[in-house]
Structure 1
Amino acid sequence: MSALLEVENLETFYSQSQVLFGVNLRVEEGQVATLLGRNGMGKTTTVRSILGLTPARKGRIRLAGRFIEALAPEQIAALGVAIVPEGRQIFPNLTVEENLVAFAANRNQSPNPWTLARVWELFPRLEERRNNLGSQLSGGEQQMLAIGRALMTNPRLLILDEATEGLAPLLREEIWRVLRLLKESGQTILVIDKYLERLLALADQHTILEKGRVVWQGDSTSLKARPEVWKQYLSV
Structure 2
Amino acid sequence: MGLDLNSDLGEGFGAWTMGEDASMLDIVTSANIACGFHAGDPTIMRRTCALAVQKGVRIGAHIGYRDLAGFGRRAMAVAPAELRDETLYQLGALDGFARAAGDRVRYVKPHGALYHAAAADAGLADAVVAAIREYDSALALLGPAGTQLEESATLAGIRFVGEGFADRAYTAAGGLAPRGTPGAVLDTDHAVAQAVTLAETGSARIAGGDATVTVSPDSICVHGDTPAAVEMARRIRAALGDAGIAVASFT
Answer 1 or 2: higher relative contact order, Cα 8 Å, separation at least 6. Answer: 1
Higher Cα radius of gyration: 1
Please report the TM-score for the alignment, with normalisation by the length of structure 1. Answer: 0.38
Please report the TM-score for the alignment, with normalisation by the length of structure 2. Answer: 0.37
